[in-house]
């Protein structure tokens, strides 16, 4: 089953030198060549030292059992080990070729929703009912979400990617009538973490 990889890196220097940028470019291209899905980098707007990696894989095994241990990947990890810390990495049940990922948006909100396992069905129902109101606000950009596959405990995690012109547009959604419907997902949440990112091309 194709899966989407989401990883968070922390730069030790917010403005890396050209050699580091080149290593990121080459590492992303190497991953794309191997996985056959684009590997993209995004910089967080709230804290620009954080870099998100969004990639696709035919399976988790292809990623963790083949690519991560490969000589090519280890070479780039070695080049970047003094420049970057890996905060976390996991996979989502989102087909990486889905056309609804808002990759064309100037800003993408990355919303992590933490859900008790017993309330997963409730969250799904509330999200299904509220999603059209979200879509009305993100238009012309899209949104896509999926459940975390490789969990650390019994709780569930749903990650939502939504496209916006700027973070303020996302904040303004919370003041709309439509949010009253979308916001019903909160009844199923243990917590949430919402950040905003922009594409990073390492130029």
Measure CA of the first residue to CA of the last residue in the chain; give whole Å.
34
User: Backbone phi, then psi, for 144, in 5-degree steps?
Assistant: -155, 145
pLDDT for 83 equals: 94
Inter-residue contact 102 to 143 (CB < 8 Å): yes
Q: What is the pLDDT of residues 69-94, one digit of tens each?
A: 999 999 999 999 999 999 999 999 99
Task: Indicate the pTM of the whole model.
Answer: 0.95
List Cβ neighbours of 50 (8 Å cut-off, separation of 6 or more). 8, 9, 10, 11, 43, 44, 87, 195
Q: Go through the domains of the chain in sequence order and give each one's CATH number.
A: 3-92 (3.30.70.100), 107-199 (3.30.70.100)
Q: What is the pLDDT of residues 36-54, one digit of tens each?
A: 999 999 999 999 999 999 9
**Cα angle for residues 101, 196, 112 (degrees, 5° grid):** 70
pLDDT for 14 equals: 76
Helices (H), the chain: 18-35, 60, 71-80, 120-138, 167-173, 177-182
List Cβ neighbours of 178 (8 Å cut-off, separation of 6 or more). 133, 134, 136, 137
């Amino acid at each position: 089953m194709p899966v989407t990889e989401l990883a968070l890196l922390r730069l030790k220097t917010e403005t890396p030198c050209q050699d580091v940028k080149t290593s990121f470019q080459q590492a992303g291209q190497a991953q794309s060549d191997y996985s056959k899905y684009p590997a993209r980098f995004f910089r967080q707007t709230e804290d620009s030292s954080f870099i998100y990696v969004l990639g696709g894989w035919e399976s988790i095994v292809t990623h963790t059992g083949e690519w991560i241990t490969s000589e090519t990947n280890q070479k780039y990890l070695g080049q970047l080990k003094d420049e970057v810390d890996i905060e976390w990495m996991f996979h989502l049940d989102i087909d990486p070729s889905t056309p609804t990922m808002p990759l064309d948006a100037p800003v993408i909100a990355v919303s992590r929703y933490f859900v008790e396992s017993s309330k997963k069905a409730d969250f799904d129902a509330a999200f299904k009912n509220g999603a059209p109101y979200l879509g009305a606000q993100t238009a012309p950009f899209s949104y896509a979400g999926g459940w975390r596959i490789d969990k650390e405990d019994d709780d569930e995690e749903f990650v939502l990617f939504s496209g916006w012109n700027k973070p303020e547009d996302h904040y303004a959604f919370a003041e709309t009538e439509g949010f009253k419907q979308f916001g019903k997902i909160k009844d199923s949440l243990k917590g949430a973490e919402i950040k905003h990112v922009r594409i990073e091309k390492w130029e």
